[in-house]
Structure 1
Amino acid sequence: VKSQISITESGPGAVKPTETLELTCKVTGASLTDSSKIWAIHWVRRTGQKQLEWLGRIKYDETKNYAPSLQGRLTLSRDTNKGEVYFKLTGVKPEESGTYYVAKETQHKIITKNMYIKFI
């Protein structure tokens, strides 16, 4: 029987401009360090009428990559014991209001849809 991997995002319903947006992604069914199951966790957002915008990722080995536009404001981290990945964006701007998504990437570069979304 194949174990099912699920991801759930949680965070505040709203934050004010200049504040910090903190989101948590809970992963169950696989370890964050198991590259055969989870290559990376990605964060994406859709603001206004814009297309999806990739924000960053944290890989199984804790390597982090960020969108150039968010360098210095976005921090990704994780707690492998809890199976949680953390998203922290400082100094949020009104135009960054929208829907924030989390997705997992497998070793074969297949990205699955988010399980849950939150608005700021």
Structure 2
Amino acid sequence: QPASLTVQPGQALSISCQVSYSVTSYYTHWIRQPAGKALEWMGAIWTGGGTAYANSVQGRIEITRDTSKNLVNLRLSTMKPEDSAVYYCARDSQWLM
């Protein structure tokens, strides 16, 4: 992904995270940090493919994955100025069989 991405208000943000672990063995989370503010958990995708989302983005967020490529994707629709942030993907610390 580019280091910086500009999305117009009302448009959708789509970013992917290429990971070095099996997405069927670890949970993957999406987190963001607006400038000068705290980290905000956005959502996660579980080893079985289920998802959980923060109330603050519920209805606008979709997290998907490609198990063959170990890619985890984030889509956030109807972008608002307050969605401006650094977006991170993060692996959960616990390994699950």
With normalisation by structure 2, the TM-score equals 0.88
Residue of structure 2 in register with 1:61 after alignment: 48
d(CA) in 1 for partners of 2:93 and 2:35? 29
d(CA) in 2 for partners of 1:72 and 1:20? 13
Residue identity opposite 2:41 in structure 1: W
Unmatched segments (≥5 aa) in structure 2:
none
Q: Stretches of 4+ moved more than 2 A in 1?
A: none
Whether 2:79 is the aligned partner of 1:92: answer yes
Residue of structure 2 in register with 1:25 after alignment: 17
Whether 2:38 is the aligned partner of 1:51: answer yes
| Pairs aligned (count) | 94
Higher Cα Rg: structure 1 or 2? 1
Could you say which structure has the greater relative contact order, defined with CA pairs below 8 angstroms and 6 or more residues apart? 2
Whether 2:81 is the aligned partner of 1:76: answer no
Q: Secondary structure at the match of 1:92?
A: coil
With normalisation by structure 1, the TM-score equals 0.72
